[in-house]
Structure 1
């Protein structure tokens, strides 16, 4: 009876796929110096022989010029999904959501756009709206749920501008940043806002359709609104240092927005363009954090086990299935490294191991400690 209840619990747990509701933030810079006329001449102070030069309007104008030029590479991305029976002849697609994107490359007669995966996830059709209001259909050529990135392709004739990537590793807390996007949808397209880098190298747990993932991000104090996802976080040189992706949305919380660093996303974009996905090691199991499992289902586990991951399902044809991993096994270590939860398991699996590697899993089956060795196969963004 207990075994039946356990399987029912595991089946329910496995079926729950939590999609992320991520949004984006925007930031812009203003020159706080009061400018005098362009024709003003330098004057000498009464107490020294050095010159004091009045600030001209050129600084403010150059920022506006940069924003104007960069805006041509910021696009709207509209997710259309079919409603009702997908096989019905009269099924219609409706707008399921909208976000932002950045044209970052022109290759021959094709232009490439980076956006967030959650912006285009589940789309039957994707439409790109250019800065001047012109619209065109886009093709999804690569996507990755864990990194929350996707690459779209449009005809190069629609690309009026391209933005270069900057060095996100050079950012410091306090640096001014600028962002352009479409907060609250296309009615506010091209919105420019300002902020600073609040922190670099933040690690936050993000719920995605491929599971919980620990994401390395740039924190900014920019105002965050739905629809800005996929927009560019720019440095003052007009280069993309991040793709705005998410916010912390809780009562009483303000100015906590996050962007994916450019230095991390560039190799992922290249892999998606080449393979259509990010190749990651795959073992073929469903996961649940031990801390989230009711005690009655793990009552035989030794008290010395303080953390781990419960196997909720096993793909029989996967590496895990072939190696003999079973439902209700508890994974506590991989290659001798302690694993306390599913985030740590995925981080180790995707960061430390590659397709074709052998991995030794330390598990508990009831109260018996065992080792299971398997050879990792490949998948794009499947759980486990």
Structure 2
């Protein structure tokens, strides 16, 4: 009996040692190298190949390498020189330092953050205040570019890639919600990498165009607008915008993809504006026209349920030169279906350039026709 107990004890001790070796980091790693097991140090927070992201990267690391490139932006309005009144803060948001050269630094923010400002001030993470110059602003994509002296700036954010994002990948928002919670970090995932959202540019209650945005469950609140949406590497993948968000819904935030933003930023930086191709029509969505007019006035086949009705063609415009007329119903651009005014503008603004030729498919008097339109600048 005693021998059995000793043997049993020795067996248990040997088994314990084996288990300890196997479960220890060294034993686990050795086992992993011999088989197909995944080492705990190889677990990364993004759905990409292990060799694309260093193992030591985390949310904290991503924030550490990028947070100093995110600044606070204050919009000052009013003031009167004769009455001795100084401009007062009228709103605030965030911005991202994306470029530094020749003693100047360039900051991207949202158009609505700086709209109407007669003075703009930027606050760095070290609480240094800098006066900013507005180089250009674009209400359509809701972006603006500022310029400041770079002598106090050390950090410029790394530009990432938004085209190849996948749902479920890490998304980290950095900004200044409510105007005073500077350097706030919220984290989540990419909920949708190619969400299409209606945009009401003039706030008249009707859709002006549709915009491609990134959807994330990382919290984006007022004051976060213009801030950075970064990936697990700390690279910029989007410009946050609370303007697009729905106030009645929680857990849904939106950002302008960096691949969409960069050409706009470059144009604003160099030209102060974005030159977009001009078609030269005043139009309305077919779905906004009472159905009784679809056949009686527009003479459309019953199969045509969506499109854009030309209400007026501006004289000497590209549309006029191509022969388009009032009451023509546009259904396709370059073979792509046109559902409404929003999709027409979105295609025109994001897929075409000044000088391009665009094939317009339309119905006139019940017959389908096509016209080639040479797009120009609106100031042509």
What TM-score do you get using the length of structure 1 for normalisation?
0.72
Say whether residues 1:196 and 2:189 are aligned partners.
yes
Classify 1:163/1:333 alpha carbon distance in 2 versus 1 (closer, same or farther; 3 Å). Answer: closer
Confirm or deny: 8 A CA contact 1:332 1:363 kept in the other structure: yes
Query: How many equivalent pairs are there?
Result: 330
**Distance across 1 between alignment mates of 2:66 and 2:279:** 43
What are the within-5 Å matches in structure 2 for residues 250-261 of structure 1? 250-251=247-248, 253-261=249-257
Query: Aligned partners of 1:264 and 1:238: how far apart in 2?
Result: 19
Worse overlay, 191-200 or 332-341: 332-341
Q: Deviations over 1:78-135 (max 9, x none)?
A: 223448xx9x955864433221100111111110001122222333332222223332
Aligned pairs (5 A) from 1:266-277: 266-277=262-273
Q: Retained in 1: the 8 A contact 2:220–2:240? A: no
Following superposition of structure 1 onto structure 2, how do residues 1-384 of structure 1 map, counting pairs within 5 Å?
46-47=18-19, 49-50=21-22, 52-53=24-25, 64=60, 66-82=62-78, 93-185=87-179, 187-209=180-202, 212-246=208-242, 247-251=244-248, 253-294=249-290, 299-304=296-301, 305-316=304-315, 318-321=317-320, 325=324, 329-334=328-333, 337-363=336-362, 374-379=373-378
Give the alignment's TM-score, normalised by structure 2: 0.73
Is the Cα contact below 8 Å between 1:103 and 1:163 reproduced in 2?
Answer: yes
Q: Deviations over 1:138-188 (max 9, x none)?
A: 122233333222211111123242111123344332222322101111x21
Pair 1:231–1:349, CA change in 2 (3 A): same
The structural deviation recorded for 1:311 is 3.2
CA distance in 2, matches of 1:45, 1:184: 57
Bigger CA drift: 314-323 or 92-101?
314-323
- Could you list the runs of 5+ residues in structure 2 that have no partner in the other structure? 1-15, 27-39, 42-54
In structure 1, the residue matched to 2:47 is none
Cα RMSD, aligned residues only:
3.6
Verify the 8 A CA contact 1:206 1:214 in the aligned structure 2: yes
Bigger shift: 98-107 or 306-315?
A: 306-315
Bigger helix share:
2
Match of 1:31 in 2: none
Higher strand share: 1
CA-CA distance at 1:249 after TM superposition:
1.9
Say if 2:100 and 2:150, in contact at 8 Å, map to a contact too. yes
Label 1:184 to 1:379 Cα distance change in 2 as closer, same or farther (>3 A): farther
The change in CA–CA distance for 1:269 and 1:316 in structure 2 (over 3 A counts) is same
> 8 Å contact 1:300–1:367 — kept in the other structure?
no
Answer with 1 or 2: which has the greater Rg.
Answer: 2
Distance, in Å, in 1 between the alignment partners of 2:307 and 2:273 is 29
Q: CA, structure 1 residues 277+183, in 2 after alignment: closer, same or farther (shift >3 Å)?
A: same
Using a 3 Å threshold, how does the CA distance of structure 1 residues 303 and 267 change in structure 2: closer, same or farther?
A: closer
Q: Report the secondary structure of 1:272's partner residue.
A: helix
Structure with the bigger RCO (C-alpha within 8 Å, sep 6+) is 1
